[in-house]
Amino acid sequence: MFADRAYFFDHGLRFECQQCGQCCTGESGTIYVGPEEIAAMAAHLGLPVGPFVETYLYPFRDSHSIREDDLGNCLFYDQGCTIYPVRPMQCSSFPFWFSNLRSEKRWQALRRECPGIGQGRLYTKQEILARVQRALRF
């Protein structure tokens, strides 16, 4: 995506997480944790990095992914995200992922899964594109 091109979100999009947990629970999936994100997550839980990685992560690509329970729920979800201030970029950039912004239809369809879409503050086109860019590594 390019800053000088026109998109359906040229005038921005509203989003504010409602902490419903729908994107953290249910369907199984990978949640990429970058090498540079691990120490802050471990410190947030008061754990040394080694035991933290062993308990909560598994190897994925060049780094790790977060483990899930048998129901596909993120291990850090407990009536809300328990690592919210240090959650990985994959989580903090949601729902501004390239796959969700391919078309307005796709974005509107996502409202059924994410009640935060259409709520809260307006993200500008520049902010959205910056998040899309950061999320491209996942």
**Least distance in Å: CB of 22 to ligand SF4?**
4
Q: Is residue 103 involved in binding ligand SF4 (CB under 6 A)?
A: no
C-beta of residue 122 within 8 angstroms of C-beta of residue 21: no
User: Which of 7, 32, 101, 116 touches ligand SF4 (CB under 6 A)?
Assistant: 116
Distance CA 51, CA 42 (A): 9
**Binding segment (CB under 6 A) for ligand SF4, from list 17-25, 41-49, 60-68, 124-132:** 17-25
Window 22-81: residues binding ligand SF4 (CB under 6 A): 22-23
Min dist CB 94 to ligand SF4, Å, is 5
Nearest residue (CB) to ligand SF4, 17 versus 31: 17
Task: Decide if residue 114 touches ligand SF4 (CB under 6 A).
Answer: yes
Stretch that binds ligand SF4, among 20-28, 38-46, 59-67, 101-109 (CB under 6 A): 20-28
Question: Quick check: 83 binds ligand SF4 (CB under 6 A)?
Answer: no
Would you count residue 108 as binding ligand SF4 (CB under 6 A)?
A: no
Range 115-121 contact pairs with CB under 8 angstroms and sequence separation of 24 or more:
115/18, 115/20, 115/22, 116/15, 116/16, 116/17, 116/18, 116/20, 117/13, 117/14, 117/15, 118/14, 118/15, 119/14, 119/15, 119/16, 119/18, 120/14, 120/15, 120/16, 121/14, 121/15, 121/16
